[in-house]
RNA sequence: GCCCCCAUCGUCUAGCGGCCUAGGACAUCACCCUUUCAAGGUGGAGAUCACGGGUUCGAAUCCCGUUGGGGGUACCA
């Protein structure tokens, strides 16, 4: 490559271009990707699906040191969970395989050799120690750190000497020394960088594997990726990529940099700051529909009023031009809201199906035995609108399943009733309920109401008028039966709980308040 | 340090020169509904559109600068 400026690859290649859109998600199996990573995947998937193109999964496992066993499976599991299906990938293959970069080693070597042969790359024998010292010196002298290009100007003799020493070289790109490099950023326009700020990046590491930077370029080209969608942190690397594309004489893909997802402290979302892997959200009881919807609206927008999208609707309306350019903070309370909304949208069957595993996992050992699907289904329906996550299910509903809820007697005595009063109420109310022919909400409510009126529970309204006061009696029964002050609606709850259980619990409650009254 | 990106309510955002005394949503507050908690309904507070200059008859919208935030600066991706 010459040392002159290269022109920006300003080609109009919007999504609606003629050739089919091919995007790729290219994770590195060094761990379990967090939500920000999957948002990029969502956008990539959407861009492909919107235009009827293909979505490719390519695993960038070129860093053997940081490889985490099982992470490839985890990455795919996350994708599947969200519903992001891929057309080509390591598990299913495809016409451009293999899709595991570690299996493509010879390919990168071949292209690196070509660059060396053209004079656009060279072998470098500098040790990591020297590189480190060089950098330290540069920083001390307040110079911009970067490779000093010592090996770029080695004579053939010097090169042969190093080879004779048995040093395994890396391959570096011979970047243009002067002028500027510009590339076209799909969302930001032409971005220009001074070539003197760009050093000679490593293409092939001494272990023979390519760096991310190089493998990415080669594979995106070879796999015919038309739209490269990646995080904003790669903007500063983009001109380097452009230089390599141009050295090969390859057409550059459309490059879309999506804005970063930030932690609440405004730093880049990263695991070391507590960003959770996507699958943790699944395990915490979040719905994939909610996650997808939330993620879609983080850095992308449709209009000023539509807030809910199914995956199909997303595909239909997705417009890559509406991806934002400014970073967004991950707002958990908004995610929680979406999750609640989606839980409330679930059909009873679907709710049961999804919440059951959480119920079984979260309920105390002794309670689990009573979890039969039909009963659990009715219980869950009662608490559906109270669930923020599916994992809330066991704590919210545990009293339905235990033999007898345990609680403090003080809880039973509300501010409106003392122990003798409570004793008397339970003593007379239990037979009333026991006498009910039909154990259903209407009948229970009617009986309770009649009791309230008959026993003179009255409340004064603001305007001075007096109305029956359900409060004290309802709360006594509520706590007596559940051991809590916050529960679903009483008649419905008693119905689901069943007559037997209701009565036996109320009798136990009666004993409790009697004991207090007797003191 | 150097290079680069970004900048509308606490948060996610609408806005792409006049429809904006800036709209919606989350969160928050109040009230209503009500047997509790939720859910739901209504309403409130909350952004001099970071600041300063231009351009224009007219700027949140275009340009420049400042400030602030973020990213990059690895034989990591």
Other beta carbons within 10 angstroms of residue A156's beta carbon come to: 7
CA–CA gap between residue A289 and residue A83 (Å, rounded): 9
Distance A84 CA to B9 C1' (A): 34
Question: How many other C-beta atoms are found inside a 10 Å radius of the C-beta of residue A32?
Answer: 21
Tell me the nt nearest to A321, Cα to C1'.
B16
Compute CA distances A190 → A7, A10, A40, A185, whole Å. Answer: 10, 7, 22, 6
How far: A327 CA to B62 C1' (Å)?
A: 23
User: Which nucleotide across the nucleic acid strands is nearest to A196, CA versus C1'?
Assistant: B3
Which tokens belong to A230? 């990646």
Q: Does ipTM top 0.90?
A: yes
> Which candidate in A105, A142, A268, A271 is catalytic?
A271
A273 DSSP assignment: G
Which nucleotide, over all strands, has the C1' atom closest to the CA of A490? B35
Count the Cβ atoms, other than its own, within 10 Å of residue A236. Answer: 12
Task: Count CB-CB contacts under 10 A for residue A273.
Answer: 13
Q: What SS3 class is residue A37?
A: helix
Q: Which nucleotide's C1' is closest to A327 (Cα)?
A: B6
User: Global pTM?
Assistant: 0.93
In our burial notation (b when 16+ CB lie closer than 10 A, e otherwise), range A183-219 reads: bbbbbeeebebebeebbbbbbbbeeebbbebbbbbbb
Taking C1' of B14 and every protein CA, the nearest residue is A304
Separation of A302 CA and B18 C1' (Å): 24
The answer to whether the bond into A98 is cis (omega within 30° of 0) is yes
Instruction: Find the radius of gyration of the CA atoms of chain A.
Output: 33
How much is the pLDDT for A10?
Answer: 34
Tell me the nt nearest to A472, Cα to C1': B35
Separation of A217 CA and B16 C1' (Å): 34
Asked whether the beta carbons of A238 and A185 are under 8 A apart, the reply is: yes
Of A24, A22, A95, A101, which Cα lies nearest the Cα of A59?
A101
Looking at residue A406, its pLDDT comes to: 85
Alpha helices in A223-331 (DSSP H): 238-248, 278-283, 288-296, 311-317
Instruction: Enumerate the nucleotides of strand B whose atoms come under 7 Å of any protein CB.
Output: 1-8, 10-15, 23-27, 34-40, 69-77
- How far is the C-alpha of A207 from the C-alpha of A64, rounded, in Å? 9
Can you tell me the distance from the alpha carbon of A100 to that of A90, in angstroms, rounded to the nearest whole number? 6
Residue in the block written with tokens 């570096």: A172
d(CA A187, CA A436): 69
Residue A74, φ and ψ in degrees, nearest 5: -60, -40
> A488: closest CA among A370, A396, A390?
A396
Give which of A233, A265, A280, A266 is closest to A40, Cα–Cα: A233
Distance CA A451, CA A339 (A): 40
Q: Which residue has the tokens 């997705």?
A: A318
CA of A325 to C1' of B54 (A): 26
d(CA A67, CA A109): 21
Structure tokens at A320: 């890559």
The residues pairing with A467 across neighbouring beta strands, listed in sequence order, are A459
Residue A503 CA to chain centroid, in angstroms?
45
CA of A487 to C1' of B7 (A): 46
- Gap from A326 CA to B8 C1', Å: 12
What's the pLDDT score for residue A18?
61
Per-residue pLDDT of chain A (519 residues; tens, 9 = 90+): 333 333 333 333 344 446 789 999 999 999 999 999 999 999 999 999 999 999 999 999 999 999 999 999 999 999 999 999 999 999 999 999 899 999 999 999 999 999 999 999 999 999 999 999 999 999 888 888 899 999 999 999 999 999 999 999 999 999 999 999 999 999 999 999 999 999 999 999 999 999 999 999 999 999 999 999 999 999 999 999 999 999 999 999 999 999 999 998 888 888 777 789 999 999 999 999 999 999 999 999 999 889 999 999 999 999 999 999 999 999 999 999 999 999 999 999 999 999 999 999 999 888 877 788 999 999 999 999 999 999 999 999 999 999 888 888 888 887 778 888 889 999 999 999 999 889 999 999 999 999 998 888 887 766 667 788 898 999 999 999 999 999 999 999 999 999 999 999 999 999 988 887 776
Strands (E), A74-187: 121-124, 170-173, 180-185
A298 CA to B51 C1' distance (Å): 28
Instruction: Read off φ and ψ for residue A460, nearest 5 degrees.
Output: -90, 130
The single-letter DSSP state of residue A263 is P
Tell me the nt nearest to A487, Cα to C1': B37
A373: buried, middle or exposed (CB in 10 Å: 19+, 13-18, 0-12)?
A: exposed
Task: Check if A271 is active-site.
Answer: yes
SS (H, E, C) A388-451: CCHHHHHHHHHHHHCCCCCCCHHHHCCCCCCHHHHHHHHHHHHHHHHCCCCCCHHHHHHHHHHH
Residue A473, CA: closest nucleotide via C1'? B35
């Amino acid at each position: 490559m010459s040392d002159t400026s290269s022109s920006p690859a300003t080609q109009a290649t919007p999504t609606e271009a003629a050739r089919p859109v091919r995007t790729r998600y290219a994770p590195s199996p060094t761990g379990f990707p967090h939500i920000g990573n999957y948002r990029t995947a969502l956008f990539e998937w959407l861009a492909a699906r919107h235009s009827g193109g293909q979505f490719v999964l390519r695993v960038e496992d070129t860093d053997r040191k940081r490889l985490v066993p099982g992470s490839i499976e985890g990455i795919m599991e996350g994708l599947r969970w969200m519903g992001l299906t891929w057309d080509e990938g390591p598990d299913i293959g495809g016409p451009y395989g293999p899709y595991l970069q570690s299996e493509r080693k010879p390919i990168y070597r071949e292209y690196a050799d070509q660059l060396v042969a053209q004079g656009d790359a060279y072998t470098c024998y500098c040790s990591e120690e020297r590189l480190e010292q060089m950098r330290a010196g540069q920083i001390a002298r307040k110079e911009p750190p970067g490779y000093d290009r010592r090996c770029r100007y080695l004579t053939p003799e010097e090169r042969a000497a190093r080879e004779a020493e048995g040093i395994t070289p890396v391959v570096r790109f011979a970047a243009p020394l002067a002028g500027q490099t510009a590339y076209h950023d799909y969302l930001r326009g032409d971005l220009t960088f001074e070539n003197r700020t760009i050093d000679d990046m490593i293409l092939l590491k001494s272990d023979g594997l390519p760096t991310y930077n190089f493998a990415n370029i080669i594979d995106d080209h070879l796999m015919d990726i038309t739209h490269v969608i990646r995080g904003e942190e790669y903007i500063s690397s983009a001109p380097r990529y452009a230089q390599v594309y141009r050295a090969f004489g390859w057409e550059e893909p459309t490059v879309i940099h999506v804005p970063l997802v930030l932690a609440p402290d405004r730093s880049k979302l990263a695991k070391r700051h507590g960003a959770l892997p996507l699958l943790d959200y699944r395990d915490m009881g979040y719905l994939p529909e909610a996650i997808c919807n939330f993620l879609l609206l983080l850095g992308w927008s449709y209009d000023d009023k539509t807030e809910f999208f199914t995956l199909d609707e997303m595909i239909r309306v997705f417009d890559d031009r509406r991806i934002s350019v400014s970073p967004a903070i991950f707002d958990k309370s908004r995610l929680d809201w979406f999750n609640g909304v989606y839980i409330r949208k679930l059909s009873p069957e679907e709710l049961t199906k999804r919440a059951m595993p959480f119920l079984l996992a979260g309920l105390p050992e002794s309670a689990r035995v009573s979890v039969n699907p039909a009963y659990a289904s009715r219980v869950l329906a009662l608490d559906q609108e109270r669930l923020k996550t599916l994992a809330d299910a066991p704590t919210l509903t545990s009293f339905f399943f235990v033999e007898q809820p345990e609680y403090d007697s003080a809880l039973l005595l509300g501010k409106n009733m003392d122990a003798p009063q409570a004793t008397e109420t339970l003593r007379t109310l239990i037979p009333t309920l026991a006498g009910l022919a039909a154990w259903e909400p209407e009948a229970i409510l009617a009986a309770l109401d009649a009791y309230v009126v008959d026993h003179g529970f009255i409340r004064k309204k603001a305007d001075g008028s007096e109305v029956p006061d359900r409060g004290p009696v309802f709360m006594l029964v509520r706590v007596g039966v559940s051991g809590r002050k916050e529960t679903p609606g009483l008649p419905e709850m008693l119905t689901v709980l069943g007559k037997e259980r209701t009565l036996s619990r109320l009798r136990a409650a009666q004993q409790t308040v009697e004991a207090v009254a007797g003191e």
